[in-house]
């Protein structure tokens, strides 16, 4: 009997050790996510979705979130640079590259230009295709309908986006109009503070179309029709949504999103968080979040992330010049 009890105790102890090893093998047990835009935007969804998956998978004990709107993400970026907060990461995306290209200034002492070189790139984690959406009651059923109305009367179409002019929402929409043979510089773009307010602007009738990320409108499909996305082919998580390419407008682009640490973040901390962000993508908890947003997994840690950012700087400079933005 004693041997049986001893065996049971050994099995239970081994199970506990296995559970501890699989739930949290990381030294970091909490993270604070800084979000450079308002609720309902792509940054907001990426930060909160990542935190959700990390907690539910057992990799983190707690996660907190702080929306810090201002200057198209500039206020949050400056917060990271000026305060160097501990256990804190910033969610960002292509607009961080655009900021350095346009030499955008503000929010930091010395009126210096802000870019990804001012923070610590940790890892790129997901890609989100661009999407053009209209309200359910819109007369426009395809992007061709929108283009036809615009060419007939440019003032009849106002395009909403969840960030400033020159940002990804603006550029993707402008690129689609350019490919359709319209003048992208004459498209009226109405900027809002993140995707939630941009969606509200569309639904209220302030604008006729919304340029945003696919993940930002997946949860609003009872209110909008997505009439085109920038994927090369239809995506498995939204098979009924047409691509712009299949409609004759060859616009292909995926907007990355990733995380950055404050200046001075140690290599050990950076590598620990990067590994965590990579490992969580192998869990069923992450897959629930990814599928819900129709994201594409794009994991680029450390130096690979920096190389990607450098390459995109060249590519986005060319795109912005072609659209007449710079």
Q: Are residues 32 and 175 in the same domain?
A: no
What's the confidence (pLDDT) of residue 108? 47
Q: Are residues 114 and 79 in the same domain?
A: yes
What's the confidence (pLDDT) of residue 18? 39
Q: Which two tokens stand for residue 38?
A: 């308002």
Nearest to 305, CA basis, from 145, 38, 156, 120: 120
What's the confidence (pLDDT) of residue 4? 53
Q: Are residues 217 and 310 in the same domain?
A: no
Which tens digits make up the pLDDT trace of 147-206? Answer: 999 988 988 999 998 877 777 888 888 889 988 988 877 888 998 887 788 998 999 999
Q: Are residues 263 and 195 in the same domain?
A: no
- Among the candidates 215, 247, 279, a domain finishes at 247
- Among the candidates 247, 278, 299, a domain finishes at 247
Using CA atoms, how far apart are residues 160 and 59, in angstroms rounded to an integer?
Answer: 37
Which tens digits make up the pLDDT trace of 126-141? Answer: 998 999 999 999 999 9
CATH number, position 159 = 3.40.190.10
Which tens digits make up the pLDDT trace of 79-95? Answer: 999 999 999 999 999 88
- Among the candidates 203, 223, 247, a domain finishes at 247
96: domain range?
Answer: 27-128+255-322
State in Å, rounded, how far the first CA of the chain is from the last one: 81
Q: Are residues 77 and 122 in the same domain?
A: yes
């Amino acid at each position: 009997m004693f041997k049986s009890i001893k065996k049971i105790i050994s099995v239970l102890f081994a199970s506990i050790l296995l559970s501890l090893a699989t739930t949290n093998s990381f030294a970091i047990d909490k993270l604070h996510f800084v979000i450079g835009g308002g609720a309902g935007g792509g940054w907001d969804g990426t930060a909160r979705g990542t935190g959700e998956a990390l907690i539910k998978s057992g990799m983190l004990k707690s996660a907190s979130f702080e929306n810090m709107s201002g200057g198209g993400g500039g206020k949050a970026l400056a917060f990271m640079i000026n305060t160097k907060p501990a256990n804190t990461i910033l969610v960002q995306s292509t607009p961080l590259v655009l900021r350095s290209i346009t030499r955008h200034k503000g929010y930091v002492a010395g009126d210096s230009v802000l870019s990804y070189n001012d923070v610590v790139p940790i890892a790129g984690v997901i890609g989100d295709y661009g999407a053009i959406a209209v309200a359910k009651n819109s007369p426009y059923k395809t992007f061709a309908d929108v283009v036809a109305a615009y060419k007939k009367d440019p003032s009849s179409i106002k395009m909403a986006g969840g960030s400033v002019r020159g940002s990804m929402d603006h550029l993707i929409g402008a690129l689609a109009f350019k490919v359709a043979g319209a003048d992208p510089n004459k498209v009226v773009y109405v900027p809002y503070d993140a995707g939630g307010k941009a969606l509200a602007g569309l639904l209220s009738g302030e604008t006729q179309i919304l340029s945003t990320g696919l993940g930002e409108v997946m949860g609003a499909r009872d209110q909008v029709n997505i009439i085109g996305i920038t994927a090369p082919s239809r995506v498995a998580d939204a098979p009924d949504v047409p691509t712009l390419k299949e409609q004759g407008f060859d616009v292909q682009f995926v907007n990355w999103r990733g995380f950055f640490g404050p200046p001075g973040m140690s290599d050990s901390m950076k590598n620990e968080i990067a590994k965590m962000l990579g490992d969580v993508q192998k869990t069923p908890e992450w897959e629930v979040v990814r599928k819900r947003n129709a994201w594409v997994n794009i994991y680029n840690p450390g130096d690979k992330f920096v190389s990607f950012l450098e390459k995109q700087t060249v590519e986005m400079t060319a795109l912005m010049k072609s659209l007449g933005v710079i």
